[in-house]
Amino acid sequence: MCLLNASFAVFIILSVSVFASKDSQSGFAVGRNELTYRTEELSHEKFLAYAPLSDVPHLRKVTNNLLIPRVVGTTGHTQARDYITSNLRELNWSVEHDKFHDTAPILGKLHFHNIIAKLNPDAERYLVFACHYDSKYFEDFEFIGATDSAVPCAMLLNMAHVLQTALEPFRKTKLSLMFIFFDGEEAFKEWGPNDSIYGSRHLAKMWEADGTLNRLDILVLLDLIGSADPTFYSFFPNTEGWYSRLVSLEERLSDLNMLQRYISSGVSRQYPNRYFQPNTLRSSMVEDDHLPFLRRNVPILHLIPLPFPTVWHTKDDNNSIIDYIATENISLILRLFMMEYLQSATDEK
């Protein structure tokens, strides 16, 4: 992704609105087809059933398998794609590849493959989680891209694994779950409209033509996650209600002492803040895979930390930067969000 203005910190807070995060968010409209959902908090029982589901060793294993250079067209790229695909197929997800080719600076004609995985291939609508699995090409070093975006992709594979049983009912529901692993997010030479987000540009255009776009409820895009202390913001007014669910889930978990703190894990520093900031940034400065979908009116939650991790696009974005405690904290919030979302929509039927 690309941050259009490096001095964003100076004027980043364009408008700040603090959510009444514990209020019920009943009846806000989301998505396409004028659907309104009654978003209900997970019951205490369900919350306590889902929250302890966790498998950090699995998260580490999956992450390690993706921590290889994955430049489009290389064997590492094929390996990452095969790994993601087989992982989800083993969990009985329906996985397809959207294959196409395009011409990139430096490397020329390249074959791209977006990976599209569905829990219920026959669903009418989808809650979509996405990341990009390609890594950036650099002329002078091998870039690993731990936060960019091996960890976000590993988080999705880990969610499917951890929630396997909990998600079972949603194999048959009209609203189900889709994961997209975009290809070719990174620019090969210089970020620009023709040299970046190759995969998402292709997929959004194709799905606009065949009507699939209307079946996407919301696209939750994860990027640059994996390092310590990330902070997220709400960027888009039409998904503010859903964003505020993330804020309240973090509070609810924190109140119940279900999020890990450094202090209890023996690390001598304390995270002073929260991940999901209760602030709105009306910013269009971060370009990423959501753009082709945003421009076609798909509701977006863009979960990318601001500021970016300090290791962004350097050789230091490798295994040694990953903070598994923070990553698991965030994964847990997202897993509960996923269950809450699927339940809210299904209850409404």
Ligand X SMILES: *[C@@H]1O[C@H](CO)[C@@H](O)[C@H](O)[C@H]1NC(C)=O
Provide the binding-site residues for Zn ion, judged by CB under 5 A. Answer: 136, 148
Partner whose binding site includes residue 215, from Zn ion, ligand X, none (CB under 5 to 8 Å by kind): none
Q: Is 287 in the site for ligand X (CB under 6 A)?
A: no
Residue among 186, 223, 289, 323 flagged as catalytic: 223
Q: Is 316 in the site for ligand X (CB under 6 A)?
A: yes
**Cβ contact 265:327 at 8 Å:** no
Tell me which residue of 273, 187, 193, 199 sits closest to 233, measured CA to CA: 273
Q: Is the dihedral of CA 150, 155, 161, 164 positive or negative?
A: negative
CA distances from 342 to 94, 285, 339 (A): 18, 30, 5
Determine whether 41 is an active site residue.
no
Q: Is 325 in the site for ligand X (CB under 6 A)?
A: yes
Q: Is 205 in the site for ligand X (CB under 6 A)?
A: no
> Which of 108, 193, 211, 266 is the binder for ligand X (CB under 6 A)?
193
CB closer to ligand X out of 237 and 307:
307
| Positions 133 through 172 that interact with ligand X (CB under 6 A) | none
**Cβ contact 347:256 at 8 Å:** no
C-alpha torsion 47→218→312→279, nearest 10: -70
Partner whose binding site includes residue 254, from Zn ion, ligand X, none (CB under 5 to 8 Å by kind): ligand X
Q: Is 258 in the site for ligand X (CB under 6 A)?
A: no
CB closer to ligand X out of 26 and 86:
86
Tell me which residue of 320, 115, 308 sits closest to 223, measured CA to CA: 308
Q: Is 259 in the site for ligand X (CB under 6 A)?
A: yes
CB closer to ligand X out of 114 and 327:
327
Q: Is 250 in the site for ligand X (CB under 6 A)?
A: yes
> Which of 275, 308, 337, 341 is the binder for ligand X (CB under 6 A)?
275
What is d(CA 242, CA 290) in angstroms, rounded to the nearest whole number? 16
What is d(CA 304, CA 130) in angstroms, rounded to the nearest whole number? 12
Q: Is 92 in the site for ligand X (CB under 6 A)?
A: yes
Q: Is 41 in the site for ligand X (CB under 6 A)?
A: no
CB of residue 141 vs ligand X: minimum separation in angstroms?
Answer: 7
Query: Strand, coil or helix: what is 131?
Result: strand
> Which of 173, 234, 260, 280 is the binder for ligand X (CB under 6 A)?
260
CB closer to ligand X out of 37 and 276:
276
What is d(CA 177, CA 197) in angstroms, rounded to the nearest whole number? 23
Determine whether 148 is an active site residue.
no
> Which of 58, 215, 274, 296 is the binder for ligand X (CB under 6 A)?
274
Question: 86 Cβ partners below 8 Å, 6+ apart?
Answer: none
Partner whose binding site includes residue 315, from ligand X, Zn ion, none (CB under 5 to 8 Å by kind): ligand X
**CA-based Rg of the chain, rounded to a whole angstrom?**
19
Question: 240 Cβ partners below 8 Å, 6+ apart?
Answer: 19, 234, 280
Q: Is 194 in the site for ligand X (CB under 6 A)?
A: yes
Q: Is 326 in the site for ligand X (CB under 6 A)?
A: yes
CB closer to ligand X out of 22 and 38:
22
Partner whose binding site includes residue 148, from ligand X, Zn ion, none (CB under 5 to 8 Å by kind): Zn ion
Residue among 41, 183, 185, 288 flagged as catalytic: 185
**Cβ contact 79:66 at 8 Å:** no
CB closer to Zn ion out of 126 and 143:
143
**Amino acid of residue 97:** H
What is d(CA 287, CA 289) in angstroms, rounded to the nearest whole number? 7
What is d(CA 126, CA 178) in angstroms, rounded to the nearest whole number? 6
Partner whose binding site includes residue 260, from ligand X, Zn ion, none (CB under 5 to 8 Å by kind): ligand X
**Amino acid of residue 257:** N
Q: How many residues bind ligand X (CB under 6 A)?
A: 22
Tell me which long-range contacts 92-96 makes (C-beta under 8 A, separation of at least 24).
92/171, 93/117, 93/118, 93/119, 93/160, 93/179, 94/118, 94/119, 94/121
Active site residues: 185, 223
